[in-house]
Amino acid sequence: MKTVPLWALVAALIVLVLCSAFFAMAETALMAANKYRLRHLAKRGNKGAITTLWLLDRTDKLLSLVLIANTLINAMATALVTAFAILFFGHEDSVLVIAIAAVAFLLIVFAEISPKVIGATYPEIISLAVSRLLRPLMSAAKPIIWFVNLFVNVVLKLLRVKSGGQRQQHRLSPEELRSIVLEGGNFIPQKHKSILLNLFDLETISVEDIMTPRSQIEALNLAVPVDDIKHQLTTCYHNKLPVYEGEINQIVGILHVRKAVALLNQDEALTVEHFRALLNTPYFIPQDTGVFTQLQYFQENKERLGIIVDEYGEVQGLVTLDDIIEEMIGEFTTSVPGASRSETFGWDANGECLLEGSTPLRDINKRLAVNFPLDGPKTLNGLMLELLQDIPESPISLKIGTCVIEVIQVQNQSIKVVKLRRPSAGKR
């Protein structure tokens, strides 16, 4: 040792610290690397990504290699500094304590914390670079890794830990996938992100949440005079109309309006039977059917419109294929004349918003960023009547969640128009 020059000892120490930093950085980067991004790169033929995935599929051997190398290097660095201190400063206990403290500080700062922070900051870039060096090292150290893992496997068996199976059985849940989409940031366009999030919501909502309620259904009544039927057909804005006889719960079929309009150009006198002959069999849907399930049913049955009924067979509303598609990608159809204010609304400059009582709570939550409960009534009118337990006869205000709601108009035993007011708006 006395014949070794000082610069050689210092150089050896620097090399050991750099090697220790390399393995520490490699371990952190490989464990933090995004496997989905690596798989994407691997499919495009990136050799570094292919090698990285090969290493990650052998995590137990990879960790064994990294930790064995790191432990040996750190032990060599400690021994070198200790020998260096004894050579130049003697065998005093204080010298050994200072030497060990110095090498510990050196390794913690330059061989542990700093490289691991770098590895966690740039995991994919570093993983692709270090994997090409780690793979041949793993092959060279295979006997050592095998010997060490013999004892590791014994310990794991005693602790009843399965090293390989659990990792392969892991699958992402819908909520985890949702979190990945939300954390996509600038990598996913906002419109695409919105569509993906809506797709996840289809599993949690029913057709009752997106239906056109019974009171808003435009339907054709065969019990009225033929002239009234003609007038309704010539002013209709829909391609298909539910047809009932007498009252809405007696749905007898679905009428294609274009076929019916063609009858109006005939010279012969029209009767109800002419229209009845054009009817298609109605398609009924239980109100608790999930939206995603109903989308599959529409596809399987080649239907585009369904009548929603409750457990007693009474009509509750109507849902179309367009309603489900709009739930996924947003509204795209043209609003018909006379559309309600519930179709387009938002906070004004004073932090207020006028809404019809029939506005769905899900739409309000989305557009106004509020948090009305969705596990009960589906509309604002239903929610307020449930809380008030009475139909108000005069203007009244109440607070739900973060909003103050004022009843503006009551009509036909229901709340017709309300005004929402954000609490923060009144404090400015």
Predicted pLDDT at 120: 92
Buried-state track 154-193, b at ≥16 Cβ within 10 A, e below 16: eeeeeeeeeeeeeeeeeeeeeeeebeebeeeeeebeeeee
**Higher model confidence: residue 423 or residue 34?**
34
Q: Is 310 helix (H, G, I), strand (E, B) or coil?
A: coil
In the beta sheet, which residues pair with residue 414?
Answer: 411
- Nearest 5°: phi and psi at 30? -65, -40
DSSP string computed for 328-377: HH---SPPPTT--GGGS----TTSEEEEETTSBHHHHHHHH------SS-
User: pLDDT at position 160, please?
Assistant: 82
Task: Please give the residue that has the higher pLDDT: either 393 or 417.
Answer: 417
- 284, pLDDT greater than 90: yes
User: Do the strands 284-286 and 305-309 form a parallel or antiparallel pair, or are they unpaired?
Assistant: parallel
pLDDT value of residue 281: 93
Q: What is the pLDDT of residues 291-300, one digit of tens each?
A: 989 999 999 9
| pLDDT at 169 > cutoff 80 | no
With a pLDDT cut of 70, the percent of the chain lying above it is 90
Write the pLDDT tens digit of every residue in 247-266.
899 999 999 988 888 888 77
Residue 318 pLDDT greater than 90, yes or no: yes
Q: What does the pLDDT read at residue 332?
A: 65
Position 343 scores a pLDDT of: 56
Q: Which whole number is the average pLDDT over 1-25?
A: 83
* Measured distance CA(269)–CA(226) in Å, rounded: 10
Q: What is the pTM of this model?
A: 0.61
pLDDT attached to residue 346: 82
Does residue 88 surpass a pLDDT of 90? Answer: no
**Band of residue 185 on the pLDDT scale cut at 50, 70, 90:** low
User: In this structure, are strands 352-356 and 414-421 parallel, antiparallel, or unpaired?
Assistant: antiparallel
Contact by Cβ (8 Å): 361, 374:
yes
Look at residue 394 in the predicted model and tell me its pLDDT. 72
**DSSP code of residue 122:** S
What pLDDT shows up at residue 10? Answer: 83
Given a cut of 90, is residue 243 above it in pLDDT?
A: yes
pLDDT digits (tens, 9 = 90+) for 298-308: 999 899 999 99
Q: Quick check: 254 and 243 in contact, CB under 8 A?
A: yes
Nearest residue to 418 via CA among 403, 408, 404: 408
pLDDT grade, residue 283 (50/70/90)?
A: very high
At residue 118, does pLDDT exceed 90? yes
Q: What is the pLDDT of residue 164?
A: 56
Contact 56, 33 (CB under 8 A): yes
DSSP string for 43-87: HTT-HHHHHHHHHHTTHHHHHHHHHHHHHHHHHHHHHHHHHHHHH
* Rounded distance between C-alpha atoms, residue 242 and residue 261, angstroms: 15
pLDDT at 428 over 50: no
Residue at 300: amino acid letter: E
Residues 6+ positions from 92 with CB-CB distance below 8 Å: none
- Is residue 361 within 8 A of residue 380, CB to CB? The reply is yes
Tens of pLDDT, residue by residue over 343-388, are 568 888 888 888 888 888 888 888 888 888 888 888 888 888 888 8
**Percent with pLDDT over 90 in the chain:** 25
Share the mean pLDDT of the chain. 84
Domain architecture of the chain: domains with CATH: 6-169 (no CATH), 174-201 (no CATH), 207-329 (3.10.580.10), 341-426 (3.30.465.10)
Distance CA 166, CA 171 (A): 10
Does residue 341 surpass a pLDDT of 60?
no
Closest by Cα among 385, 386, 372, 387 to 416: 385
- What integer is the mean pLDDT of 26-43? 89
In this prediction, residue 184 carries a pLDDT of 67
Residue 416 has pLDDT above 60, yes or no: yes
Report CA-CA distances (Å) from 345 to 23, 103, 175, 197, 416. Answer: 57, 66, 29, 22, 16
Reply yes or no on whether the pLDDT at 69 is more than 50: yes
Residue 4: its pLDDT value, please? Answer: 66
Residue 167 in this model has a pLDDT that exceeds 70: no
* Residues in contact with 223: Cβ distance below 8 Å, sequence separation at least 6, in sequence order: 245, 246
